[in-house]
Amino acid sequence: MCIESFATIDTIFPAKAFVPGAPRNWENLKVAQFVDSNTIRLALSIVGTPGDVDWCPAYKSLADLWGALLEAALALPLPDKFEHHQQYLHIQTARVFLWSTWNRCIILALWSLLRGHLDIGYVYNRTQSFVFEHTSLLRGFARHSNGGNSASVPSSEYMCRWAFRLLQSDLGSANLDFRHFHKRYHEVFREHKGRCMLNSKHPRATKQCSGVSPFRCNRFQGMKIEDHSAHSSTCCGDCTKLVWSESSYRGVSGPRAVDISTTQDGIIRYCLATHKTLAISHVWSHGQGGRPESPEPAASITLFKPPKGTGFNECLHKRYSQIAVALGCTSYWMDTPCIPQDHNLRRESISFINRIFADSLATLVCDRDIMSIEISTDSKPGSDGCRSKFNAANVAISVLESIASVLLVCDWNLRAWTFLEAMRGRRNLHLLCNHDKVVNLRDVIYQVHTRGRVDISVLLVNAQHLLPALRTTPEDATEGLVDVREASFLLSHRHASRKGDEVVIWSLLCGNIAYYTAIDFWTAYREPDMRLIPTSYLMTNLPRIRKGRGLGWAPARPNFPADWNVEARKRYFIVPTSNLCYNGHLDKDGFHSIWRFSEIQRSWFGGSLWRDREDNILRRQISLVIQNYLRWYTRGALLQPCDFFGQPIPYRGPADGHLLAVVGHVRGNNWRWKGIIDWPSTVPLPVFTHEWLVIV
C-alpha cells in the first residue's frame, strides 16, 4: 500500500485539478472536495429514515465496500510518475476519490448511529457490531496524516496528547478528520500553555505531555494539588470551611447526602439520598477533593500523622445548593462532604455509589476545562427562568461544538471513578460551565448532532457514558450495569488515583457489590452457572491472577499498572470483536471453550520434521515460544479465538502479526495460561485444529 504517497500529490497534479484559491494538497483536489452521487444517495437515505437503527448494518456494509475498493486501489503497482504520467495520475485520482468517498460514508453511517443512540438509547452490542473492516487502512492513514490535523489549524498546546491519542483510537474517530475539532478546542484555550507536567527548563512552568502513556502525564498521576484549594468564581478564597456533624452522619441509615435546608452555622448536616438528590461528579486533583472532618492545625501534621480532614469551603456549598434547588433537588451528594476519612465509613459510602447516581434527579459534571467555557450572555436561560440553567437550543452552535470538543479530552472524561459515576447518572447529565452556568449534556449533543458539524458530532458515537441508556431494556441495563468484557474494555485506558480502586470500580460497573480483590471479584462473577465470556476477551496481556483455583487465565485488573513500562512491553488491549466469537463458560475449575489449537511438543525438535526453509523459520519461532513460556512443560499449545464456523477471529488492535495465546499442559484436558505473543506476519502459522480445553 502506498498511503504515504498521498503526501506528495501536490507536486504531480496540474493546478486545474485543485479547488481555486485553496492550498495545493490532496485534500483540496476537486475529486476530494466535490461530493459524489453515491454519497448524496446515502445522505438522503439517512435523512429519510432518521434514527432508524435497522438500516445501520446496510450503511456499514456500504462503507466496508468502499474500503475494499480503496484497499484494491492501494494494492495496484504505481508506475513511474514521469515515464507514465497519465497512468500515474489516473491511479492516484482513483485512490483519492475512493478515500474521500469511504471517509464520508463512514462519517454518515456513524452520524446515523448517533441519532439512534439519542432517540432510542445507547446499546453496546449495536455499536460493537458496527466495527468497520480494513482497520489497517485507518491506522495507516492516521500515521501519515497526523490524525487528519491540517497544518493550517494547529493543535492547542494546552491539549493533553494522551487524551487526544485515545480519542484517535476510538471507534467513533474512524473518520480521522480532526481539523474542526482542533479549531473549536483552540478557540477556548488559544495561547494557554500545556499543564500535563512540570517543565524542567522552567521550574514553575508546565508543558504538554508526550502522549506515550498516562503515567507520563501528571494530569493522571503525580500532580501535586492541595486538597480542597478550589473556590467559586465569586469567592476571594477566604471563606469559612464547613465541617461535618458526625452525629448527623451516623444518624442516617443508608446513602447520605448534604441536607440543604439544615446545613448552616458552619456545620454540614445529612439526610438520606433520594430521587431528589443532585449527584456531583468531579476530578479530585482539580482542587475540590477533601474530607468533611475538621482540618487539624498545621503544627500537628507529620509524615506519620497525615491530616484527617479538610472541611468543605462554604462558597462551594452555596454554589451546589443553588444549582441543586434550580434543578429541583433538596439535597446534593459529593464525595468531599459525604465520604469521611474513616476506613469503615469510606467502604460503606462506596457501596452506595451506584445507588446514589442511579437514583439521583440529576448528575452535575465538574471539570476545570469545561468550567472555563463561557456560555454567551446573549443565551437565554432555561424555561423556568433560572439564571444558572441554560437551554442548549439558545446557545451558539460554535460554543456547543467547543463544549463537545473539550469534553472529549478533558480530565473528567478519562478518570475511572468519574466514568463509573457518569455511567450510573447518564440519564440526566449536566455540565457546569463558567460563572456557574449549567447546561444539559444530552441537549448539547443533540444540538451538535442536528445543527453542528458532522465530523465533530460523530466523535461522540461511542461515548457510552455520555449518551442516554436504552429506555426499554431490563432494569440492570437502564442503571448502567454491563458485563465484564464491556467493563474491561471501557476501563482499559482509565485509571484511579488510589491504588486498588480499579478493581472496586470494575466490580461496581458489573454489579452493585464492591469487591476489593480480583479473586473475590471473579469468584463472585462466576457463581451463576454457565456464565459466558467470549474467548477473544482473553487476548490481552493484562496481568493475570497468580493464586486462585481455576483463575490463572483471568485478568487481575481491567487496565495496566503504572510500573508496566510501555516502551519495553507492548500492550494489547481488549478490543471490540464480532458477536460471532465463540463463547466460553466459567466454573470453579476454569475457563471451558473451543479454540483453534496448535500443539507444541518438545520431542518434535529432533530435526527430521523440519525440511525446508519455511519450516526452519517456523521452528525458530516455536523455539522462542518454548524458551520464553514453556521451559518447564513437556507439552504446550498456541491458541486462537474462533467464530461459530471455526474461522479465526482477527485481533483489531495494533498487533504486528497474529495475536496468539500460549498455554502449558497440566493434566488431562487442563491447560495453564502462560501469556500472549504477537506472531510475526513474516513467519508462517503452524497447522491449527479445533479443541475443547479447560484453562486453569
- Look up cell 484497499; give the residue: 71
Beta strands 241-244 and 312-313 are antiparallel
> Rounded to the nearest 10 degrees, how much is the dihedral formed by the CA atoms of 693, 571, 177, 197?
150
* Confidence at residue 1, expressed as pLDDT on a 0 to 100 scale: 38
Segments of 309-403 assigned E as strands: 312-313, 331-333, 362-366, 389-390
* Confidence at residue 50, expressed as pLDDT on a 0 to 100 scale: 73
* Confidence at residue 4, expressed as pLDDT on a 0 to 100 scale: 47
> Rounded to the nearest 10 degrees, how much is the dihedral formed by the CA atoms of 73, 76, 77, 80?
-40
d(CA 243, CA 291): 9
Question: In order along the chain (696 residues), what is the average pLDDT of each group of 10 residues?
Answer: 53 85 85 93 89 80 91 88 83 91 90 88 66 65 47 69 85 67 93 84 79 83 75 90 96 97 96 98 92 72 58 95 96 97 94 96 97 77 60 92 97 95 94 95 96 93 86 54 86 88 95 94 83 91 91 94 68 71 91 95 53 71 91 93 90 83 93 95 93 95
- DSSP per-residue codes, 553-620: TSBSSSS--TTS-TTTS---------TTBPEEEEETTEEEEEEEEEEEEGGGTTSTT--SHHHHHHHH
Q: Which of 486, 469, 489 lies closest to 478 in space, CA to CA?
A: 469
Q: Cell for 117?
A: 443512540
Q: How far is CA 595 from CA 355, 484, 583, in A?
A: 39, 20, 10
pLDDT digits (tens, 9 = 90+) for 463-474: 889 998 776 555
* Confidence at residue 78, expressed as pLDDT on a 0 to 100 scale: 82
* Confidence at residue 51, expressed as pLDDT on a 0 to 100 scale: 67
DSSP 643: B
| Contact indicator for 597, 688 with CB cutoff of 8 Å | yes
In b/e form, how buried is each residue of 452-468, taking b as 16+ CB within 10 angstroms? bbbbbbbbbbbbbbbbb
DSSP 165: H
* Confidence at residue 609, expressed as pLDDT on a 0 to 100 scale: 44
pLDDT digits (tens, 9 = 90+) for 524-548: 988 876 688 999 999 998 999 998 8
Q: Cell for 24?
A: 495545493
Count of CA atoms in the C-beta half-sphere (13 A) of 582: 23
Q: Cell for 636?
A: 504446550
* Confidence at residue 391, expressed as pLDDT on a 0 to 100 scale: 87
Q: Which residues contact 597 (CB under 8 A, 6 or more apart)?
A: 637, 638, 639, 688, 689, 690, 691, 693
| Contact indicator for 122, 469 with CB cutoff of 8 Å | yes
